[in-house]
Structure 1
Amino acid sequence: MSNRSLSSVVKLSILSVVLAFTSNVYADPVKAAFVYIGPTGDHGWTFAHDQGAKYVKEMMGDDVIVTTVESVEENSDSERVITSLARKNDIIFTTSFGYMNPTVKVAARYPDVKFEHATGYMRPTDNISTYSARFYEGRHVIGKIAGRMTETNVIGYIASFPIPEVIRGINSAYLAAKSVNPDIEIKIVWVYSWYDPGKEADAANALIAQGADILMQHTDSTAPMTVAEEKGVYAFGQASNMREWGKNAQLTGIIDDWGPYYLERVQAVKDGTWTSTDVFHGVDSGMVKFAPMNNSMPFEVRNEASKAIIDLSMGAIHPFTGPINKQDGSAWLAEGETPPNFPDLLTMDFYVEGIDAKYPN
């Protein structure tokens, strides 16, 4: 056999291997699993993630098999569920902060499976990605609206757990409200739960009793919106459009749009291009959106909010722009300064100056 013929045989063999590998990458449907902290019917955080999972199925069709598991507690149950899913899926999305350590543990045992953890920060192995959204940008917008719309100058805030994501939201909303209404006061009730309609309703009623005529929430049920509608005060939807539960109450709502990100990541597994990343998207990418604004809002308030959304999308403003002090009066950001690096936001563990509330344990 001539060298030329031998070379042709080698090339054909290599091509066969490449085609076989490519066939394996593209032929089989990707098995994608989603682990949820609450029920998909919460119409909040879990509902938004489930909408994203459904978007993936809608766009990829037979190229993906989607599995979802609801109401998984942030304890040993989560590690058990994630382990079970890792045995039969290609990529797993764990969609709550408290799943971070279990995700890391399971990922170390299943290096061939891709893991995506929402709102976390640990990526010790190259099969883990982390992703979150700049929800504090949404809080900036609703803070401005609240500062303009309140008549009592008291904003009520129903908070879940004192993790940086939630603290960022409280601080951002307060600073934005204060920027348009120096007399503003924010009252905070911690319910220490992501989804507990009873506790959330009790917190809403307690805040209204303290003079709040506008409610914000970083919890997942529609209970606060229902209470706001019943009591004749305003509120903002959380993670999705909650207008159905507050036709008159909802001024707007922060909408979490996970669909495009989920599609991109599952498709990357399908294409063999998935790599470990750390994503922190916001208004500019469309990961943070807003429900339609209430027609009862004066034109100038709607216009101011719309301008803030446009400015955020263009990177023209930052919700944390100095001068800003911490609650104890110590300096954080100087005049015109913004957080110099991502960890300043990632690890936020303080209230800003002006918030008259004890920092939670």
Structure 2
Amino acid sequence: MKARNTVLTVLAASAALAAAPPAQVGFVYVSPVGDAGWTYQHDLGRKEMERALGGQVTTKFIENVPEGADAERVIRQLVTGGAKIVFTTSFGYMNPTEKVSRAFPDRFFFHATGYKTGKNFGIYNARFYEGRYLCGVIAGKMTKSNVAGYVAAFPIPEVMQGINAFTQGMRSVNPKAEVRVIWVNSWFDPGKEREAALTLISQGADMVTHHTDSTAVVQAAEEKHKENKNVYAFSYHSDMAKYGPTAQLTGTTHHWGEFYTRTVKEVLAGTWKGTNVWGGFKEGMIKLAPLNKAVPEDVKKLVLAKEKEIASGKLHPFAGPVVSQDGKERVAKGKHMTDAELGAMDYYVQGVASTLPKK
């Protein structure tokens, strides 16, 4: 009789869950969804989660939301509109998200790339620097000018990690290589991104990449490549090969769907205990885009071998010795940078030829 009652209880609980109205999940995006880039990858993750959870959820997103006060308004709007869970997907949304999370303790909030947390407020990020390191290895092997160009958004630790990891990877196979950086002070400004890429190419860079949201850098490299300048690019966030079929060598791509699905399931089941996720190749949150046929076979083998080493923990992109641009040793030989040190990165490593903007 006890077993029968247990079965009936489970069936009743399942029926109640099935009868419950779908939970609304909101997403706040810093740029347009488009068909490539940072926001596009998050939106792919949203769709994957929605498919996986079927009728348990409905989703809503608001795109092109400026960071700051306007973000707080949008987050509140989603919550008062019925959202039980809200994902905010840009660094500048951290403080507004935290503020709204305190005002609505019965809702759940998750912020990408930040560091603040709360009882109903989790954070998540991907180890972008792992992919950057491998792109740097390819650049170091294939450059003819020994100069790479990097179009960057804002000098925050996440972006600094990418610049420095790319440089570390490049110089691990080519000690003569240098990286030049131009800051555009925007996550999404195709005009500025394109201008910066062309400037870097005019300064001798035959390898370019970006930590910005549009396809402009890859497109600029494609145009120059067709002019027989042999300029190559590494995309970021997503595979942008259709915008640079000959110029794009590969790219660091981000994958959020499994995280979104798992997190929403935990909230709905009442089992969520807090989220502080930072996943890389090992967790499938970072992958390389398909390698261009222009990448030599020996370089492909080298990069794939290093990818496995990073995933297994054998190789760390910031294994010592790590020396900053000013000659200071940041990580000693035999050690590697801790997550806390990565999260506080505010300097260039040796090999970056540009000057860091003053705070």
- Identify the TM-score tier after normalising by the shorter chain: over 0.9
Distance in 1 (CA, whole Å) between partners of 2:303 and 2:88 is: 33
The Cα offsets for residues 308-345 of structure 1, whole Å up to 9 and x where unpaired, read as 11111111110001111222212211112112x32111
Matched, 1:56 2:54: no
Larger CA Rg, structure 1 vs 2: 1
**Residues matched between the structures, number:** 347
- Per the alignment, residue 4 of structure 1 pairs with none
What is aligned with 1:279? 277
Other-structure match for 2:184: 191
Contact 1:158 1:189 in 2 (8 A): yes
2:311 pairs with 1:313:
yes
Matched, 1:353 2:346: no
- Tell me if the contact between 1:158 and 1:200 (Cα under 8 Å) persists in the aligned partners: yes
Corresponding position: 1:322 with 2:315? no
Q: Distance in 1 between matches of 2:13 and 2:351?
A: 64
State the distance in 1 between where 2:329 and 2:66 align: 38
Determine whether 1:95 maps to 2:93.
no
TM-score normalised over the length of structure 2? 0.93
What whole-Å deviation, never above 9, does each CA across 1:21-69 have from its counterpart, x for those lacking one?
A: 9936973322111100000006100000000001111111211100000
Q: Name the Cα RMSD after superposition.
A: 1.9
Give the counterpart of 1:259 among 254, 257, 260.
Answer: 257
CA distance in 2, matches of 1:105, 1:280: 23
Shift of 1:354: 3.1
TM-score (norm 1): 0.92
| 1:290 to 1:20, Cα distance in 2 relative to 1, 3 A | closer
2:25 alignment partner in structure 1: 32
Unaligned runs of 5+ in 2: 226-230
Q: CA separation in 2, counterparts of 1:264 and 1:20?
A: 20
Q: Which residue of 2 aligns with 1:127?
A: 120
User: 1:165 matched to which residue of 2?
Assistant: 158
Query: Distance between the aligned counterparts of 1:47 and 1:21, measured in 2?
Result: 34
**SS at structure 1 position matched to 2:294:** coil
Find the counterpart in structure 2 of residue 229 from structure 1: 222
Partner of 1:67: 60
Identity %: 46
Q: Note the residue ranges of structure 1 that are not aligned, 5 or more in a row.
A: 1-7
| Residue 98 (structure 2) aligned to one of 104, 111, 119 | 104
Aligned counterpart in structure 2 of residue 342 of structure 1, from 336, 339, 343? 339
Do the aligned partners of residues 76 and 21 (structure 1) sit closer, same or farther apart at CA in structure 2, a change above 3 Å counting?
farther
Verify: 1:114 aligned to 2:114, yes or no.
Answer: no
Q: Quick check: 1:25–1:272 contact (8 Å CA) kept in 2?
A: no
Letter in 2 for 1:231: K
The residue type equivalent to 1:360 in the other structure is P
The one-letter code of the counterpart of 2:355 is: K
- Aligned to 2:60, the other structure's residue is in SS state strand
| Structure 2 counterpart of 1:147, one-letter code | G
Matched, 1:333 2:327: no
Residue aligned with 1:254, SS:
strand
